[in-house]
Amino acid sequence: MSAQDQIRETITKNDVVLYMKGTKMMPQCGFSSRVAGVLNYMGVDYVDVNVLADADVRQGIKDFSNWPTIPQLYVKGEFVGGCDIVTEMTLSGELDALFEAKGVAYDKDAANKIREANA
């Protein structure tokens, strides 16, 4: 299976996928850590894909999304963005709205606490 096929299958079969450096429990870069931290704190059930474990997937995800950086968040097969976009969406409430529209469970109180802490 090619990296592109593997990526397509992963984002199709899972509601929320984070392509990141490291894992959700042990991120290997600050940007991946920030996005994983937001998802973990909000109690989102997601699949983490460690791009450092497979060079083909690491380049493949960049080609797949036409986005040059890692991490990359996908919700219900849709590319959401990287660290800056996810951070902005979290602080504006857009990420909550996306999760609600797509039927993804998350902790609304935790999301509000993130916004309060960054106000």
**So what's the pLDDT on residue 30?**
97
Three-class SS state of 119? coil
**So what's the pLDDT on residue 1?**
83
Mean of pLDDT over the chain: 96
- Percent of residues, the chain, with pLDDT higher than 90: 98
**So what's the pLDDT on residue 84?**
96
From edge to edge, which strands make up the β-sheet containing 16-20?
47-50, 16-20, 72-75, 78-81
> Partners of 50 in the beta sheet?
20
Neighbour-count burial of 10, counting CB atoms closer than 10 A to its CB (0-12 exposed, 13-18 middle, 19+ buried):
middle
Cα 78 → chain centroid: 11
CATH class for the domain made up of 3-113: alpha beta
Q: Is it the case that residue 46 has pLDDT exceeding 90?
A: yes
Q: HSE of 1 in the Cβ direction (CA atoms, 13 Å)? A: 9
Q: Is it the case that residue 85 has pLDDT exceeding 90?
A: yes
Distances (CA, A) of 47 to 11, 13, 20, 116: 9, 10, 10, 27
Please give the average per-residue pLDDT across 76-97, as a whole number.
97
29 annotated as ligand-binding: yes
> Partners of 16 in the beta sheet?
75
Q: How far apart are CA 75 and CA 19, in angstroms?
A: 12
What is the residue extent of each domain of the chain?
3-113
Three-class SS state of 16? strand
**So what's the pLDDT on residue 119?**
85
